[in-house]
Structure 1
Amino acid sequence: MTAPAPLPPAAAGALDGAPRGRVEGLDAIRGVALLGIFLMNVEWFSRPMQELGLGPAAGLAPLDALAAWLVYALVQGKFWILFSLLFGMGFAVMQGRAQASPRPFAPAYARRLGMLLGLGVAHAVLLWPGDILHNYAIAGAVLLAFHGLEQRLLWVLGATLYLLLALLSLLGGALMAAAPALAPDTAVDAAAAAQAYVQGDFATVTAQRLSYFGGQLANEIAILPSILGVFLIGMWCVRSGVVVDPAAHRRVLMRMLGWGAPLGAALTALALWIALGAEAGSGGRYLALGVMLFANLPLALAYLAVLALAFARMPRLRAWLAPAGRMALTNYILQSLVASLVFYGYGAGLYGQIGRAGQCGLVLAVFAAQLVISRWWMGRFAYGPLEWLWRAATWLRWPPLRRAAADV
């Protein structure tokens, strides 16, 4: 494992020696991404994962249907990409800073990814089988091979890798729409999963999570190039300085917004038209998914541009959101812990009993609590709890946790 290339001076300066607000802006964007991720994920604590990607369920009450379709159009897939972009940025920063550090990079990077992989697998088995952290760890290992790419090639290769999965999904969806018999029948597996989640104790639910997680090997392999592609675009965002100094790159961000928003909106509208005209679980829904994958990347980049520009001008809002983003790993896991205790049989057992509108209300309440708790915590401590353990595993030493000690 070779040492990574250093960050360009503009990006390195913005991250290491720039005013606090610039780094705080990235943390604030990460906080918004956490909200979007939870809005998307919460449905799958109360609905079988076997139906993932098929759009809103059939037979919803009007308010629930409105909430479901709004999340489908504006959140699903977009905030996954935004969250992944930010993880890619973090990996890129660590790689770049390592050039100036006397400490060996390769062992620390391997330990960092190993910790993330273990945490992701534990999250999938013990809390929720839709975990993304283990995928990030694997893609992060591959990311190191691309550290020497030119800045322009990072963008081109990243977009190509992402769009490859979108194209394959579109072709598969078109085939299933033309030949409905080819669409997978998930009804039996979904019913068994729902029964386990509703009636099962912790051991039964864990066995169901493990069964689903273990059966996703083909999908795991398929989405890794897509995740890697998003990471490469995140690396471009750091190396170009676009996200670490948005004021100086306003024109670039406005161009990103100018093409990303209309293109993403048009493709989303097409996907919605297809999905609304197809029955739940039909091949038409898979076709809509393929179109939506094409929409997600430009819209996620438009979201990134809007947030970066907005937080550069809104310091109070930025200051409220940033603490949650600084402990994003902890908050991500806590969201799953709360949802598992609310919906699964070994907790409150509300699986299938809270509609999509109620789920969104729950997400907003939990996220509001996380904002308050994160602000309190980060005012006293240098890291979130899991971030502290992650850093300790990376560098094989316990970093100071209390803020006063860490600031010395």
Structure 2
Amino acid sequence: MANMAAGFAPVSEHDRIGLLDALRAFALLGIFLVNIEWFTRPWQEFGNGVASGLAGIDHAAAWGVHVFVAGKFWILFSLLFGIGFAVMMARAEKAGRPFRALYLRRTAALLVIGIAHALLLWAGDILHTYALAALLLLALRDLRPRTQLVLGLSIYYGLCLLALLGAAVAGLVPGAAEEGAARAFSADPGATAEAARAYAEGGFARVSGQRAADFARFLLNDFFVVPMALGVFLVGSWLLRSGRIGDVAAQRPFFRRLAGFGLPLGLGLSLWAASIGVGLDAAGNDARWLLANALMSLGALPLALGYLALVALAWSTDAGARALGLLAPAGRMALSHYLLQSLVGSLVFYGYGLALWGRIGHAGLLLLAAVVFALQVATSRWWLARFRFGPVEWLWRWATYGRRP
């Protein structure tokens, strides 16, 4: 094990692709802008779009996040996961070292981190979903890059089309949605109010119990999200293996086309979804609720690819690379910062912390997220000037390579 790890170790700072670190930081900000709302909103309302009863700047803030950010940045992070997978595989092949055992240990460690995150900090964990999808990705690693692209898009949009079909059936057949996806994720008002009280007023034990219940309830969502993440992983793997990410300057025409296609398509679908779904909930408007969520999923991937293309184009210029380089250290510690954001959210909003649940408007939530992220960027530079890895990245690599970094 020691010999294998010595030949195939964590990537050095010199060998890192700086653009990927900047993209991870950008994705980290977007994820927190979405997640912070769900530290002060019960999970029983998940999927219902903009919260009801908002007005003025709070409604504008919530609407902006719903259209431009929600559902897009976990897709962007998934693209980066697929790129990282391809990087790890390529380095293993170059070093002539076994890949499967290392990757399985890395994935198992991520699964453990994700479950602990869900039970101890925040029920909306995405890491366990990534770990499950990563196991499926391993089985497809030998496909040619173009085959990975076609399969990834087919999986993703096949699921979107199934969601659209569900919306059509719900609209055409009276009562068809009573046992459908919308009904499965809806909850009665009493359960929603009780969950809100548990988070707002409860001590650590009560909040943890509610977290576990919410996490278990939304594990059903993995039947849809895991294959969707796998599809995006495959697209990300293609981006690296096709040479698009490795030499951004040479690929500027590709990224211009990607931005020109992905941004208007993704934004148009997101606006269409918002025009249908704002103010709806699964319990009362099944067909329109399903249609709105299907349209959001349809638009999420092209808009995320458009964002990636914009960042890549900016990175290909000297001024853009310097500006984005300020964010890159946070991207090198993305896992640590993702968990830290959950720790901050739980301590600020839950009953065992400052108990500010429901006391900060949506505009204030976005401001808080921006301040926390700015502090994370600043502390990342300080940390990485002294240590090679973020603290959780250090533990993750120890579990992966079998020796302490």
TM-score by length of 1: 0.89
2:314, 2:321 within 8 Å by CA — same for their partners in 1? no
Cα pair distance change 1:280/1:218, threshold 3 Å: closer
Greater CA drift, 333-342 or 137-146? 137-146
Amino acid at match of 2:132: I
Give how far 1:59 is off.
Answer: 0.7
Give how far 1:280 is off.
Answer: 4.4
Out of 224, 233, 243, which is 1:231 matched to? Answer: 233
Structure 2 Cα separation of the partners of residues 246 and 103 of structure 1: 28
Counting only pairs closer than 5 Å after superposition, residues 299-318 of structure 1 correspond to structure 2 as 299-313=303-317, 314-318=320-324
Structure 1 residue 321 corresponds to structure 2 residue 342: no
- In structure 1, the partner of 2:294 is 290
Report the number of matched residues. Answer: 383
Cα pair distance change 1:303/1:190, threshold 3 Å: same
2:248, 2:312 within 8 Å by CA — same for their partners in 1? yes
Structure 2 Cα separation of the partners of residues 230 and 380 of structure 1: 35
- In structure 2, the partner of 1:152 is 146
Q: Could you say what secondary structure the match of 1:140 adopts?
A: helix
- In structure 1, the partner of 2:353 is 347
Out of 75, 81, 87, which is 2:69 matched to? Answer: 75
Identity, % of aligned positions: 51
Amino acid at match of 1:297: L
Structure 1 residue 359 corresponds to structure 2 residue 368: no
Out of 40, 43, 49, which is 2:37 matched to? Answer: 43
1:26, 1:308 within 8 Å by CA — same for their partners in 2? no
- In structure 1, the partner of 2:106 is 112
Give how far 1:100 is off.
Answer: 2.5
- CA deviations 1:237-286 (Å, max 9, x no partner) are 1101212221111111112112111211221221122124x544533233
Counting only pairs closer than 5 Å after superposition, residues 172-211 of structure 1 correspond to structure 2 as 172-176=166-170, 179=174, 182=178, 183-184=182-183, 185-186=186-187, 187-211=189-213
Structure 1 Cα separation of the partners of residues 306 and 390 of structure 2: 29
Amino acid at match of 1:113: T
Give how far 1:359 is off.
Answer: 0.6
- In structure 1, the partner of 2:396 is 390
Counting only pairs closer than 5 Å after superposition, residues 13-52 of structure 1 correspond to structure 2 as 23-52=17-46
Give how far 1:218 is off.
Answer: 2.3
- CA deviations 1:349-388 (Å, max 9, x no partner) are 1111111111101100000000100111112211111111
Structure 2 Cα separation of the partners of residues 81 and 336 of structure 1: 19
Give how far 1:319 is off.
Answer: 1.7
Amino acid at match of 2:314: A
Q: Could you say what secondary structure the match of 1:362 adopts?
A: helix
| C-alpha RMSD of the superposition | 2.0
TM-score by length of 2: 0.90
Give how far 1:175 is off.
Answer: 4.1
Structure 1 Cα separation of the partners of residues 158 and 221 of structure 2: 14
Structure 2 Cα separation of the partners of residues 232 and 54 of structure 1: 29
Q: Could you say what secondary structure the match of 2:17 adopts?
A: helix
Give how far 1:103 is off.
Answer: 4.2
Q: Could you say what secondary structure the match of 1:371 adopts?
A: helix
**Unaligned segments of structure 2, at least 5 residues:** 1-9
Structure 2 Cα separation of the partners of residues 341 and 379 of structure 1: 28
Amino acid at match of 1:364: A
Give how far 1:128 is off.
Answer: 0.5
Give how far 1:160 is off.
Answer: 1.0
Structure 2 Cα separation of the partners of residues 216 and 141 of structure 1: 20
Structure 1 residue 95 corresponds to structure 2 residue 95: no
Structure 2 Cα separation of the partners of residues 393 and 16 of structure 1: 15
2:82, 2:236 within 8 Å by CA — same for their partners in 1? yes
Cα pair distance change 1:174/1:59, threshold 3 Å: farther
Structure 1 residue 167 corresponds to structure 2 residue 161: yes
1:196, 1:205 within 8 Å by CA — same for their partners in 2? yes
Structure 1 Cα separation of the partners of residues 277 and 224 of structure 2: 23
